[in-house]
Amino acid sequence: MQLAFWLNYFYSGVGGDAVERLQKVLARAGIASRRKSEEIILQGRVKVNGKVVRKLGTKVDPDNDKIELDDRPIKGKEKKVYILLYKPSGYVTTMKDPQGRKTVADLVSSIPQRIYPVGRLDYDTEGLLLMTNDGKLVYRLTHPSHEVKKTYLATVKGHPSERALRRLRHGIKLEDGMTAPARVKLLKAYNNSSLLELIIHEGKNRQVRRMCEAVGHPVLKLKRTKVGFLTLDNLSKGEFRYLTNSEIKRLKEMY
Q: What span, in angstroms and rounded, lies between the C-alpha atoms of 41 and 36?
A: 9
Q: How many CB atoms lie within 10 A of CB 103?
A: 17
CB 132 within 8 A of CB 81: yes
Give ∠ CA 87-93-94 in degrees, rounded to 5. 140
- List 106, 122, 176, 233, catalytic entry: 122
CB 198 within 8 A of CB 151: yes
CB 130 within 8 A of CB 108: no
User: Could you say which DSSP state residue 31 is in?
Assistant: S
- To the query of whether residue 122 is one of the catalytic residues in this protein, the response is yes
- Which class for 158: exposed (0-12), middle (13-18), buried (19 or more C-beta within 10 A)? middle
Continuous H helices in the chain: 2-11, 22-28, 34-42, 104-107, 135-142, 162-170, 207-214, 245-254
CB 223 within 8 A of CB 125: yes
Rounded to 5 degrees, φ, ψ at 152 are -125, 150
Q: What span, in angstroms and rounded, lies between the C-alpha atoms of 57 and 20?
A: 9
By annotation, the residues acting in catalysis are 122
